[in-house]
Structure 1
Amino acid sequence: MEELVTLDCLFIDGTKIEANANKYSFVWKKTTEKFSAKLQEQIQVYFQEEITPLLIKYAMFDKKQKRGYKESAKN
């Protein structure tokens, strides 16, 4: 019987080496793509609901104070 496994490399840290390393590659790829799409949607909603009103409020405040961009950055 031929040697299929050699003990040249010994891992004592619990590392597991699977025979079929690409077995789950498509599952994980689909999962990451789905997660990325959901995350992009959440970012857009957050930006529209939280950040945009703050930017508008700040722009209106600067307009009332009649300050320019450079003056606003100093304060």
Structure 2
Amino acid sequence: MPHHVTTGDLLRWAMRALAALGSVWFFAPLPPPWPPTDQYPAGPPPLHPERMCPGVPLTDVEARLQRQLSEERG
């Protein structure tokens, strides 16, 4: 007697297959070490849009934020 495959059978198989695939393919990279090293320098990389321009002074708000962050880091 042949077994008839129902939609529910297919959905259960698909859910199990996707769960197995997700457990194999999931990857979360580790955060870079602190303090910064040569491999993981502090701040954005060169030419990054958020990179600070060395010739432009910080605004009052930026300077205050920099002080707060440096105090929190020790």
TM-score normalized by the length of structure 2: 0.34
Higher relative contact order (CA 8 A, sep 6+): 1
When you count helix as a share of all residues, which structure comes out higher?
1
Structure of larger gyration radius: 1
